[in-house]
Structure 1
Amino acid sequence: MEFKNSDEAWAFWLSYSGQKGFEVRKRYTNKRPSDGKVTSCKFVCANEGLRSEDKRDHLTKFPRAETRTDCMNVKTDRKNGSLIVSEVVLEHNHTLHLPETLHLMVSQRKISELQAFEIGMADDAGIGPKSAHELASRQVGGRPNLSYTLRDHKNYLRTKRQREMAYGQAGSMLKYFQDKIAENPSFQYALQMDCEEQIANIFWVDAKMIMEYAHFGDVVSFDTTFGTNKESRPFGVFVGFNHFRETVVFGAALMYDETFASFKWLFEAFLNAHKGQVPKTFYTDQDAAMGKAVGEVFKEAWHGLCTFHIMQNAAKHLHEEKDEDNKKEKKKDKKKEKNEEKKRKENEETSVLTDFSACMFEYEDIAEFEQKFDLMRKKVSKQTWLDSIYKCKEKWSECYMKDVFTLGMRSTQLSESLNNDLKIHFKSDFDINRFFKHFDRVVQGKRNTELNSEFDSRKKLPKLCMRRPPPMLVQASKLYTPGIFEAFQGEYERSLLTNAIPTDASPPDDVLTNARLKKKVVETKTSKRKRTWLDKKHKIRKKREKIEEVGEEASSGSAQAQSQAHAQEQVANDSVSSGKGTNDSLSSGKGKESEVYNANLSFTQLLTGPITDDAFIGLCSTHIQELYINLLQFYTYTRTAGVRRSTGSAEVERRDKDGMGAGWEQQRRRGRQLGVPASFREDAE
């Protein structure tokens, strides 16, 4: 057999070995020094030859399996410009492989350029090797048709990363920054060197971050996290809200340590990158070094502490005083004592934490805050932590934050949320290149979310809850984003409810005549209004108002019982009044309507308290109006008929029997349909 070159001979040898079921390899290849052409080569079976003996074999506890059996070989020599097979041995002294395992033989496995590109793209997209290999095998119809295995996939990625890190950690990082600057000259980075001229702290920001900070940099949250890179460096991110109330990134940093000097350098680098624009509000956790650096660099900003971290620390440090006498009495039954002690501790700690939470979120008056905080001090045995947190009360208490611009932010929850997203994509063994690539993926995901929100805001019209919305709401729906408009509309509705019933003026006549009870709409997943950050604030206030109303209702319970008895007597007197009296009351009730209206009576008070017929009819729903008017007609008619029968006149009795009898039976039937009690009808008859 003749071949033009060694590549053609090797391709034939591979094809033949695949059909027969054995692995092959190149034994040697000789080339001419003058022109580099192959003069001779030898292709052998993978089991050709014998493994040489090692003097340390007797020390090996787990020796490798033997794979060499001195099997066949093929030798080719060059003659007349082509390679000719000069020697061949086709017999094998070992078992051949099955056709189903062809894809597992080393000589048959190879990653092409296209497959290498797809493997790299899958790795950049965050797809794991196992999932990427499964996808590739499905694309070609199964793993037997794929030219490489999962181990080859992982080996290729490891080799690629080693090539990328050829310049070392620092060199690879600087190369990444230079590539970013080449893409967009607005990309900025800063490095801080230590005394040994080694890179300690790193800060970077791209063009999109600079632009977003210029628009939304009024409120900034900063926090650090660990376990995102191979060197275990603290990773810090500056984040904030955009116009859709979604997370935007303003900058990122890899730090060597969390000291005052490092934080000060980082915050100064942040301001330099954003042209000295200081945020109005800056949220951090309770780290002392970080707080000191914020006060020195961001002098014009209001520094807020994360309420979530404060509550976590409160749960650790706040405990109520224990009653030692009760402890001694309960030592008899140890099991019962442990259970009761656990429950009692939970209740005590919950009550103290509830008081502390109220001081943090509810009290808007400084005097009330000081009073409640002093009462809480008496419940706590150790006040060291409480005294330390009280010194910085201006940074977390609601009463000191009335004039602070926070956009509803009270914690570093945005930073914590972003850190969780980062930890999903990051691993602690990531080198610097893989760290930067996956961080870009996370940031790009946040920006894609903003684009989706922008698309939805242009496609979907905002929902106006009012049938006849005022021009202000219509204009706001066109200017604001859906989330901001939802919050604005909720506040507008609350303002209307607050000012809906004036206390110094009688209502207009059309309010009473057109009064209707609002039909209750069952809230579903589609009809339920999305809660905003302002709803949480109002929910806390409503809870507080309900607690205060409980005491007032308890004190007014006896007064309501007396008014209920008086109301029943008044209704009985009104029911037996004459038809003329009824008409007079309907025509002269405007003054009394104002009294009822101005008193802001609830629906329960309308039913139980003393009230005139006109006011009752005007303020109740359509169905109750119909019921009560029919009852009045029923009473009026029965009373008139009864008077006529009592006269003893034959003419009246005849008219009652002939003309009025049908109407009487009709009204009595109507009373039964309306649910008038039998005793009620019998008294009327």
Structure 2
Amino acid sequence: MVSFAVTQEGIWTVKRSIESHNHELAKPDDQHLLRSSRHITDESASVLKSMSDAGISTVNAFTYLSEEVGGVENLGFTKRDAYNYLQKERRAKIENGDTYSLIQLFKERVAADNMFAWDVQLDEQERLMNFFWADGLARIDYDCFGDVIIFDTSYRLNKYNLACAPIVGVNNHWQNIILGIAFLSDETIESFTWLFTTFLRIMDNKHPITIFTDQDQAMARAIETTLPNTRHRLCQWHIYKKAPSKVWCFNSTNKVKNLFHTCFSKCDSEEEFETAWNAMMKEGNLQNHQWLNDLYKIRSKWSTAFNKNCFNLGILSTQRSESTNHVCHGISKPTSSITECFLGLEKMMKTWRRNEKDEDFKCSQSEIQPYIKSSSILKQAALFYSRKLYSFFEEEFLQGVGGLCIEYSSSDLTMFYVKSIDKCPDSKIWTVLFNSSQGTIQCSCAKFEMMGILCSHCMRVLRQLDIVNIPEKYFLPRWSARARKDLYAGRKITNLSNSSCLSVEVPGNLKIRNYVCRFAYKISTEAQGNAEAEQCMLDGMTSMARNVQLILEGKKINNTNPVCGRKNIKDPAKCRPKGISNARLKDHWEKKKKKKIKNTDFTAPTSIQFTPESNGSQSSFM
């Protein structure tokens, strides 16, 4: 080492010099480990950031960069430097507070997308409790495909333990779509009420026909209050999963298990359900079983027999929402901020929408080839349905033609009894009603009323009557390969909320947005390239925006969120999920010692510390 002293005149004097080293000199291969030699170049920093944003782990990104330059020794920095750099970038995003950064992102999205909407809820200490957002495409999706939604709050992988609550729908390609995302600090009636109220306000007060959730009493009460016109359905999978631990003979007696399954989705009427339920209770001697009796009281929420007249896409569980949670697992981790969660979910939504566009492209560029090329019904369906929905329709058609037979028909050909072609003595029989004058056909399985495509039983009757074309009203626009174009072109939409299939006009707010967008696009396209025309268009739009704002101010309408300009909003408090204790995990010897103490007859001394029970137990119907 060498130390110097510098005078005011700028004269340097050696004060101390030690020529020997107290360590071995670094070898050329180890030079990158010296602090003075380590530096992340702008190019490497850009690659690290891009790969991290794409969901690639830091160690994999570092490995990729080292392979590119022929080894770690040629890279110029270590793995720890890469971790430190990315952590510094993450801290920079929330430099002014996690909540403040999130609200700034919301404001940026509103500036870029006029239809982007968001809202937050604060507690008494000015901490962020709950927040919700939906971008413009999500709101358009809800206009087109918001008839059935799935809601789940089981995902909590973030630093505050906030519950990620995506509202998921299904598009015309049978793909998941995000209609809005919320983060909730707790799962109380108040939080759920705030969320559903906010969701309806942002979606122009359009109520879904059916909502699927898990068994949560707080959620159910909030839905009853805020969505009175919506049918609330419970996830069958969650109930069926509980059954083995609740019913003692569920696994030992197959007949009880099969009857229980029949009550879920195999009954076509309420009478069939009652018969199967009573047979199950008698077979297992379960008349006094409390869990089953409680389940029976809410049978209309989980059995398909009580929901035949309500459109629900044929969904039986919340697995679509849970698959969304599985995707979220790769986006965030227990240390993720809410800002990082928001950005990660945005990327997930872009990926899903890219997949949807790819499917739209395939539908527009290639024709569906029917399995039976001479069938006029399949040709008709191939021209209308998206590829995925056509596969469902074709399966029903082939099953009806090749797997079913007419057991009996009335003399006037208005009633048909259809059964499987297998001559089983206990084979189920479906009743199909046909009215030639009105052009209607209806089956006791109610597949069309629930899902919107004709069932195999109706197909068998249509084939029996040599009908070559299906009435247009049995092709729902939401399943069309051009669903968005058809719905936004001002065509009539089938009202799915009842089985009469009446037609209603497209909502006014939907038509006006569609008209304005198409009109603005037309003008901008025509004016492009002409400086005078472009300036005229911009001046006109500026004047129009000013006039619209004056009208809104005259009506005292304020669309600005009251928390937009505030900087003192605190980050959320860390929450404890329902049913999870915050107690420290004990090792084997501690557990063994506690077990010994519990087994003794004397009173435990006061010095022994017991773990308190959690006060956040799961609330449910059962």
Same fold (TM over 0.5): yes
1:188 equivalent in structure 2? 117
Deviation at 1:458, TM superposition (A): 3.1
Question: 3-state SS of the aligned residue for 2:206?
Answer: coil
**Paired residue type of 1:366:** E
CA distance in 2, matches of 1:360, 1:182: 48
Offset at residue 427 of structure 1 (A): 0.8
Whole-angstrom distance in 2 between the partners of 1:380 and 1:413: 32
Pick the aligned partner of 1:490 from 392, 395, 401: 395
Q: For the residues of structure 2 that align with 1:356 and 1:542, how far apart are their CA atoms?
A: 23
Q: 1:118 to 1:549 in 2, by over 3 A?
A: closer
2:38 matches 1:160: no
Q: Say yes or no: does 1:425 pair with 2:336.
A: no
SS of residue in 2 equivalent to 1:428: coil
Structure 1 gap ranges (5+) = 1-70, 321-344, 506-537, 551-597, 599-685
1 or 2, which has the higher helix percentage? 1
Q: Aligned match of 2:270 in 358, 366, 370?
A: 366
Say yes or no: does 1:548 pair with 2:426: yes
Larger relative contact order (CA 8 Å, sep ≥ 6): 2
C-alpha distance in 2, partners of 1:467/1:549? 32
Q: 1:185 to 1:215 in 2, by over 3 A?
A: same
Answer yes or no: is the 8 Å Cα contact 1:241–1:247 preserved in 2: yes
Is the radius of gyration larger for structure 1 or structure 2? 1
CA-CA distance at 1:374 after TM superposition: 1.2
1:291 aligns to 2:220 (yes or no): yes
In structure 2, distance between residues paired with 1:233 and 1:158: 22
* C-alpha contact (below 8 Å) 1:315/1:353 kept by paired residues: no
The aligned residue for residue 448 of structure 1 is 354
Query: CA offsets per residue over residues 34-83 of structure 1, 9 Å max, x none?
Result: xxxxxxxxxxxxxxxxxxxxxxxxxxxxxxxxxxxxx245889999xxx9
Q: Deviations over 1:542-562 (max 9, x none)?
A: 699847159xxxxxxxxxxxx
Q: Which residue of 2 aligns with 1:347?
A: 252
| Separation in 1, partners of 2:142, 2:396 | 28
CA distance in 2, matches of 1:545, 1:157: 68
Unpaired segments of 5 or more residues in structure 2? 411-417, 429-463, 465-622
Q: Normalising by structure 1, what TM-score?
A: 0.57
CA distance in 1, matches of 2:43, 2:361: 35
Matched, 1:466 2:372: yes
Deviations 1:563-602 (A, max 9, x none): xxxxxxxxxxxxxxxxxxxxxxxxxxxxxxxxxxx9xxxx
CA distance in 1, matches of 2:25, 2:140: 66
Letter in 2 for 1:296: T
Q: How does 1:626-637 map to 2 (within 5 A)?
A: none
In 2: Cα distance, 1:398 partner to 1:177 partner: 41
**1:279 corresponds to:** 208
Q: Of residues 291, 298, 304 in structure 2, which corresponds to 1:398? A: 304
Question: Against the structure 1 CA distance between its residues 388 and 97, is the aligned structure 2 distance closer, same or farther, given a 3 Å change threshold?
Answer: same
Q: Paired residue for 1:114?
A: 43
Match of 1:249 in 2: 178
Partner of residue 475, structure 1:
380
Deviation at 1:387, TM superposition (A): 1.1
Paired letter, 1:485: Y
SS at match of 1:167: coil
Which digits, 9 at most, give the CA deviation of each residue in 1:436-480, with x for residues without a partner?
12111222222122122223333443231114121x322321221
Paired residues for 1:294-309 under 5 Å: 294-309=223-238
For 2:208, the aligned partner's letter is: P
Shift of 1:428: 1.4
> Is it true that 1:313 corresponds to 2:235 in the alignment?
no
1:93 aligns with 2:34: no
The SS at the match of 2:252 is helix
Residue type matched to 2:111 in 1?
A: A
Aligned to 1:590: none
Distance (whole Å) between structure 2 residues aligned to residue 461 and residue 74 of structure 1: 83
CA–CA distance in structure 1, aligned partners of residues 422 and 332 of structure 2: 44
- Residues 172-192 of structure 1 show CA distances to partners (whole Å, capped at 9, x for unaligned) of 221221222222122111111
Residues 98 and 284 of structure 1: CA distance in aligned 2, closer, same or farther (over 3 Å): same
- 1:357 is paired with a residue of what secondary structure? helix
2:340 aligned residue (431, 434, 439): 434
Kept after mapping to 2: 8 A contact 1:228/1:435: no
CA distance in 1, matches of 2:192, 2:114: 26
Residue 397 of structure 1 and its aligned partner are, at CA, apart by 1.6
Specify whether residues 77 and 140 from structure 1 end up closer, same or farther in structure 2 by C-alpha distance, changes over 3 A only: farther
Output one character per residue of 1:274-326: Cα deviation in whole Å (capped at 9) or x when no partner: 11111111111111111111111111111111111111122221123xxxxxx
Aligned length: 418
Could you report, residue by residue, the CA deviation over 1:87-129 in whole angstroms, capped at 9, with x for unpaired residues?
6969443321111111111100011223222222222111111
Please give the alpha-carbon distance, in whole angstroms, between the structure 2 residues aligned to 1:492 and 1:544.
17
Report the equivalent of 2:129: 200
Normalising by structure 2, what TM-score? 0.62
Match of 1:568 in 2: none
1:444 partner letter: K
- 1:346–1:313 Cα change, 3 Å: closer
Q: Distance in 2 between matches of 1:544 and 1:283?
A: 35
Question: Equivalents in 2 of 1:103, 1:543: separation in Å?
Answer: 76
| 1:231-261 Cα shifts (integer Å, max 9, x gaps) | 1111111001101001000011111111111
